[in-house]
Amino acid sequence: MPDKTPGADALLLLDNQLCFALYSTSLAMTRLYKPLLDELGLTYPQYLAMLVLWEQDGLMVSELGERLFLDSGTLTPLLKRLEASGLITRLRALQDERRVHITLTAAGRKLKAKAAKVPGCILAASQCSIPELVALTQQVQALRQRLVA
């Protein structure tokens, strides 16, 4: 029975790299999102933060960082820009000033309605069915969980 294990050369082909498939797909998705998010006045990382806050307002910075897999050094400048745009407020907890609450402003809550069209545009551009995208998302999330474990 022949060995079906790819040779060393095949293992090093760019098109055989899962990391490159994920990376290049991420770049394509970011390019797809850009004009849609420009209309909202958001960068892609800011959009992700707003998605989490639209889902659950009033989070601590640390909780938002956990959801987005970002450290506070990356998250703080992003939040400062959202605050300067009038979309969120950041308030230090009275009992522990190291803890910072993030709250949507009225403008931040209102932006959710304008953002509602974004997922449909992404769905249309992907040319996938909803079940296909759900399955793909679940597979990538499962891979992420295994990699961080």
Distance CA 40, CA 17 (A): 34
Please tell me the total number of residues recorded for the chain in this structure: 149
Distance CA 138, CA 149 (A): 16
Distance CA 4, CA 61 (A): 49
Sign of CA dihedral 83, 99, 66, 113: negative
3-state secondary structure 102-147: EEECHHHHHHHHHHCCHHHHHHHHHCCCHHHHHHHHHHHHHHHHHH
Domain assignments of the chain as residue spans, ordered by start: 40-115
Nearest Cα neighbor of 77 from 47, 110, 46, 103 is: 46
Q: What string of pLDDT tens digits covers the 149 residues of the chain?
A: 555 666 778 889 999 999 999 999 999 999 999 999 999 999 999 999 999 999 999 999 999 999 999 998 999 999 999 999 999 999 987 777 678 899 999 999 999 999 999 999 999 999 999 999 999 999 999 999 999 99
CATH topology of domain 40-115: Arc Repressor Mutant, subunit A (1.10.10)
